[in-house]
A = this chain, B = another copy of it.
C-alpha cells in the first residue's frame, strides 16, 4: 500500500491569512464529494471503508494486544463550559451502601447499584458526525442545514447511521514523535501535507495511507496536558492539522481521521480571524468523519517499540439517535 503523490502547492504559500472565506471556498470546491454516493447518502467517507477493507484490516492482528484510545469520561476532563460543553457528570441511583444496609427492598440478600451519566456528546473522546459542522448553512452532501439538524436532532445524518461501520485498518502517524521534542509538538504547530508524507515515509512500510483507512495523528498535546494540567486543551492553542491538509484528506480517500487534540486542526487557526476552517471544508464538503480527544499515547509507545504503525481498529459510536456526534471507546488491536 502506498500513499498518493503529493502535488499540492506548498502549504505556507497557499493560505492568505486575511482571506479565510476565499480559501475555504476554494478548498471546498476542490474537495467536494457532494453527490459522489448519491443524493441520499448519509455516510460520506465511510463509503470507502468496505467489507474488503475491513477483512484486510482484521488480518493485521498479530499479538492480540488491545488498546483503548478513550480518555476517562468524568468530571476531571478538560471542558470549562464553553458552548455549554461540560464534563461528563456521573451520579449514582443506588449504591453498595444502600445494598449493604439492606434497605433496597430486594429479597434473599440481593443488592444492586445503578447509575446515570449526563454528558455533551462533544465532551470527550468522540466522533464528529456529518451534521456537526456546516458551511454557509449547508450540511454534508449540499443539504440545507436547517432541514438536517433541528431541535429534534440530525434527521438525516445522525450518528446512528455510522453505528456498524467504523471498524477497519488504521494507521498511526506519530507527528509528536517525528516532528516534536520529547514526543510533543508545541501549541500552534501546523502539520502540513508535507509533514504527513514525511512521517509516513519515516515510519516505514506499515504506515502507508490509502482508501478506506482510518488515520490517527498523534501530536503529543494530550501527554502534555496530562502532565501540566488541562489549561486550554478544550479550545485553546494546540498543534493540529494545517488548513492546507484539506486536499490531502480528500485525495487520500481515507475513511476517517482522529487526533489527540480537542479540535483536530491547528489552533490558533491559520487565518487572522477564523474558527475551525478545516472543519468547515472536511465535514460538509468531503463528508469526512473526524475523531477528537483520542488518547493515542500507549498505542504510540507500542508502535514505536515494534515498528508497526498499522493495526485493527474498532471505533463504534454509541448510536444516540439523531446525534451530531457521539462518545466512543476506540479499541486498537495489534
Contacts and interface: CB of A to CB of B under 8 A. Distances in A.
Given A97-B97, A109-B21, A275-B110, A323 B115 contact: yes
A295 B45 CA distance: 26
Interface centre among A52, A92, A121 (most CB of B within 10 A): A92
A148 to B, nearest CB: 5
Interface string A134-165: 11110100001111111111100000100111
Contacts of A322: 74, 90
A53 B61 CA distance: 11
A contact residues, range:
35 or more
A208 interface: no
Contacts of A316: 68, 70, 314, 316, 329-331
A107 interface: yes
Contact of A97 (B58, B149, B280, B331): B149
A225 interface: no
Q: Which of A96, A97, A120 has the most CB of B within 10 A?
A: A96
Contact of A55 (B64, B101, B152): B64
A312 interface: yes
Contacts of A67: 164
B319 A73 contact: yes
A327 B147 CA distance: 29
A102 to B, nearest CB: 8
A164 B331 contact: yes
Given A90-B323, A132-B112, A95 B151 contact: yes
* Copies per assembly: 4
A216 B235 CA distance: 41
A316 to B, nearest CB: 4
Nearest to A327: B318
B329 A163 contact: yes
A50 interface: yes
Given A97-B95, A110-B277, A149-B95, A333 B58 contact: yes
Interface stretch (A77-85, A188-196, A245-253): A77-85
With most chain B CB atoms within 10 A of its CB, the pick from A63, A85, A120, A152 is A152
B100 A145 contact: yes
Given A118-B116, A325-B115, A333-B54, A21 B320 contact: no
A114 interface: yes
Interface of A: 20-21, 24, 50-59, 61-68, 70, 72-76, 81, 83-103, 106-122, 131-137, 139, 144-154, 160, 163-165, 167, 271, 273-277, 279-280, 312, 314, 316-325, 327-331, 333
10 contacts: A54-B65, A68-B163, A92-B152, A95-B149, A95-B151, A100-B137, A113-B132, A113-B134, A113-B149, A114-B122
Given A58-B59, A95-B149, A97-B101, 16 more contacts: A50-B64, A58-B64, A67-B164, A84-B114, A84-B116, A90-B323, A94-B151, A96-B139, A99-B137, A108-B273, A112-B134, A114-B120, A115-B153, A316-B329, A318-B318, A328-B329
